[in-house]
Structure 1
Amino acid sequence: MKLLIIGAGTAGLCAARHAISQNIKPIVVEQGAEIGGTWVYRDETGTDEFGYDIHSSMYYGLRTNLPKEIMGYPDFPIEECDVSYVTSETIKQFLNDYANKFNLLKYIKFLHSVIRVIPFKAGWQVLISSLTDKSVHKYFFDNIMICTGHYHTPSYPIYVGAELFTGLQLHSHDFRRPEMFKGQKVLIVGAGPSGMDLCHKISKHAESVTLSHHIVDQPKTKFLGNVNQKPDIKKLDKNGAYFVDDSYDNFNIIFYCTGYKYSFPFLSIDCGIYVDENYVNNLYKHCINIQYPTMSFIGIPFYVCASQMMDIQSRFVLKYMTGEKLLPTVTDMLVDMEKEMQSRWKKGYKKRQAHLLGYQQMEYFTDLAETAEVTNIKEVMAKLHNESSERFLDDLLHFREDKFKLIDDFTFIKYN
């Protein structure tokens, strides 16, 4: 079997590790010069020396907003240390240790980029470019696992008057250091994890920060004194923003913490996958391409224990890839997908939340485990994810002081 894995970040590494355990020798294509994906910090923004978009959104000095206890893989936890919220360098080193442990580096083609994936007979024709010598080669694969993540293509809201604003408009994807905001009046759009976290960092340097969001229940966390909160933006003009409460203020910088778009520019239009308002259509269990089941996506759902989920998804997919389990028919997979989506729409989910799991992640893990007969994720992981996520919202200034210890498969304790 010829298997292509696209990306050598958190998802691609565990996909490769489990493929190898099934005696499959994959080719892993990685655009960067090292493993780690979004955990690789680069001071540059925009495009790299080869003219490709810089995928990493990592900023300088980042500490995780989830505890390390839930950020390892099921069979390879992050080593114990005296803090739960670790630096990005710690995560990067952890991924390198994982790659070395399972001898993954020899399967990775660094500084290569997938240009196009096209269905071909029972498999896939793939064009791959070498970034160093610009050569392009054609390959054929039986199966593809797409592990490119979804924190690399910024999503911008559309506002009336945005083109009139004379200040700087910037997305969190291109944020590296907060000093650039010194003395500025900053409007931050979005109060998700990055918006909240960066609001705190930027407010230490800015003259003032306004956090615009549509969260009904205001975050309980306390911000610095120069931070105020506003509802959604109604429109922009050359100097600032009007909000839906009819208030107005001037700003020098508008900083969008508005998330990312799922983007797979290398897929030909006939691959059976399309993205509609961030809903990746035609996926069975959020990971297998229903029209072409030899293609799978690892890491699509969000607000989850990412490494844990990527691991069980990889094991789930490989059960079918190796023929150990037989997939349902295309019709049955479509029915399964539609049933889940209708349940989500009835609960009030928007299309952009089609892959949001959060408090439902354990149900998802259990469904994967029972469907493919693979070992489930420990329940304590989801419990700790929920607890730490609440702490993040309630006490942004101090939540990283918390320390956690896993006691068993169901129990953890918190201490300081």
Structure 2
Amino acid sequence: MTKLQLSVISAGASGLCAIKNAINYNCEVIAFEQTNKVGGLWNYTDETERDEYGLEIHSSMYQNLVTNLPIEIMCYPDEPFRDQKESFVTSNEVLNYYQKYAEKYELKKYIKFNHHVIRVRPLGNVIMSEVLNSEKWEIMVKNLREDKFETFVFDAVLICSGHFSQSFIPKFKGQMTFKGKQMHSHVYRSSHIFKDERVLIIGGNNSAVDLIIEATNNSKYATIWSHHLNNKPDLTQFNGRVIEKPDVLKMTETGVRFTDGSLEECSLIVYATGYLYSYPYLSIDSGVTCNGDYVRPLWMHCLSINKPTLGFIGLPNLICPNQMFQLQVEFCLTFMTKRKKLPSKEQMLEEYELDMLERWKKGLSKRKGHFLGHKAEAQKKYYDELAKKANIEGIKSCIVKIHSHAHLNRSKHFTNYRNVKYTIIDENNFIVSPLQ
């Protein structure tokens, strides 16, 4: 039987995993990577807007970043980080992990570097495929080094370009009248920018907390933090250097008025408000829709229901990253290579609609259409369901439990949650010990 011709878009964390597993599934694979390196967003650059070819910079990496997840759950299954005392490591150590992974499995020979994806579109019934149905995919790329366009045809596509490049900035009344500086966390690179600024951080997730720590350690003024977290954070650990505020009501020339009526002067506003899902290269007839909030309709948040030869890896957020990437990749490849027969389109749509309905009933916004959250039960349920449907190995319980524990610890101890070491005992158990 003819091998499945598979395209992988991007050579970051999920892309490398897709390439490696595609080889294991006996596919012929070509990956397209816009930069000249593996590792995706873990590659630091001083540039914040455009690269040397005039293309958008995808990396959000900043100087001196240390992971907010322990490496015990950031590794691919059966590919642990090197032995070390710390569970939270620098971005350079993470990047080195991906580089070593690519070298170990000789993945670079499958990657076309400096190739920017222009368009991905289905070819309909033009070309017959022995592996799947009659539909194939045409991918147009620009070879950046040679400044020329190239076209390829594949049986299936795995999109691994992530969702941390298209910044989301909420709109507020008076936003354009504010005379200070405004920026998204995506373009933050170094803490020196905080030195002489009265800083307002807007947002409540991990990046917001990291930036608050950076600002309080470097600004001579107290940092203002606007969020709507359900659980009130303990700000005593910031020694009175954080001023907590509710949501923004409107902006003035020199500051911000909040929904409680209070007004604070500031000179720099940083939006740690997340990202939009964006895949501008997908043609209108690709079988999926994405207007920034979530991709639909997808079976199990990764496989296109209308065209199941198209898969998305890594859409859910607040997850066990590389562990889930592996699981989603194997899930998609299992059905793309016909190792297992797909359910009917009607059945997949029914499961999809029930899943989304549950989300909306919980009060989740459209921007949380792929949200898993930090609760171990919700994550484990999703991971187990992926494994069961594809008859593949799932994620160990201890991995999910560590993720949940790390989140809870971080929410209680913003400034020192990294001062612990996680040790996995067996598939279900782990221990936490203070760093010596």
Interval containing the TM-score (normalised by the shorter chain): over 0.9
CA distance in 1, matches of 2:105, 2:383: 24
Please identify, of 381-390 and 266-275, the stretch whose mean Cα deviation from structure 2 is larger: 266-275
Question: What residue number does 2:416 align with?
Answer: 398
**126, 136, 161: which one pairs with 1:148?**
161
Question: What residue number does 2:183 align with?
Answer: 170
Q: CA deviation at 1:2?
A: 1.4
Question: What residue number does 2:69 align with?
Answer: 66
1:356-385, CA deviations, whole angstroms, 9 ceiling, x for partnerless residues?
Answer: 112211100000011110001101000000
**197, 205, 208: which one pairs with 2:222?**
208
Question: What residue number does 1:233 align with?
Answer: 248
Please identify, of 207-216 and 274-283, the stretch whose mean Cα deviation from structure 2 is larger: 274-283
Question: What residue number does 2:152 align with?
Answer: 139
How many percent of aligned residue pairs carry the same amino acid?
40
**12, 28, 31: which one pairs with 1:28?**
31
1:182 equivalenced with 2:195 (yes/no): yes
CA distance in 1, matches of 2:191, 2:336: 46
Question: What residue number does 1:364 align with?
Answer: 382
CA distance in 2, matches of 1:219, 1:39: 29
CA distance in 2, matches of 1:223, 1:233: 22
**405, 411, 427: which one pairs with 1:387?**
405
Any conservation in 2 of the 1:276–1:351 contact (CA below 8 Å)? Answer: no
Please identify, of 217-226 and 291-300, the stretch whose mean Cα deviation from structure 2 is larger: 217-226
CA distance in 1, matches of 2:202, 2:249: 12
Q: CA deviation at 1:347?
A: 1.8
Any conservation in 2 of the 1:39–1:58 contact (CA below 8 Å)? Answer: yes
Question: What residue number does 1:161 align with?
Answer: 174
1:151-179, CA deviations, whole angstroms, 9 ceiling, x for partnerless residues?
Answer: 11100001011011111100000000011
Aligned-residue Cα RMSD (Å) equals 1.0
CA distance in 1, matches of 2:25, 2:198: 55
Question: What residue number does 1:86 align with?
Answer: 89
Question: What residue number does 2:364 align with?
Answer: 349
Any conservation in 1 of the 2:160–2:313 contact (CA below 8 Å)? Answer: yes
Q: CA deviation at 1:277?
A: 5.3
1:76-127, CA deviations, whole angstroms, 9 ceiling, x for partnerless residues?
Answer: 1112201000011111111111111111110001111100011102011111
Q: Structure 1 unaligned runs (5+)? A: none
**Shift in CA distance, 224/266, structure 1 to aligned 2, threshold 3 Å:** farther
1:218 equivalenced with 2:232 (yes/no): yes
Question: What residue number does 1:128 align with?
Answer: 141
CA distance in 1, matches of 2:37, 2:169: 29
CA distance in 2, matches of 1:202, 1:273: 40
CA distance in 1, matches of 2:56, 2:223: 29
CA distance in 1, matches of 2:144, 2:289: 27
CA distance in 1, matches of 2:335, 2:78: 21
**40, 45, 54: which one pairs with 1:42?**
45
Q: CA deviation at 1:67?
A: 0.4
CA distance in 1, matches of 2:243, 2:420: 26
CA distance in 2, matches of 1:88, 1:224: 28
Q: CA deviation at 1:263?
A: 0.5
TM norm structure 1:
0.98
Question: What residue number does 1:375 align with?
Answer: 393
CA distance in 2, matches of 1:343, 1:155: 25
Any conservation in 1 of the 2:277–2:291 contact (CA below 8 Å)? Answer: no
The alignment covers a number of residue pairs equal to 416
| DSSP-derived class of the 1:15 partner | helix
CA distance in 1, matches of 2:360, 2:291: 14
Question: What residue number does 1:12 align with?
Answer: 15
Q: Structure 2 unaligned runs (5+)? A: 125-134
Q: CA deviation at 1:276?
A: 4.3
Any conservation in 2 of the 1:31–1:113 contact (CA below 8 Å)? Answer: yes
| DSSP-derived class of the 2:371 partner | coil
Q: CA deviation at 1:328?
A: 1.2
Counterpart amino acid of 1:146?
Answer: I
Any conservation in 2 of the 1:277–1:351 contact (CA below 8 Å)? Answer: no
Q: CA deviation at 1:275?
A: 2.0
**102, 116, 119: which one pairs with 2:119?**
116
CA distance in 1, matches of 2:409, 2:32: 38
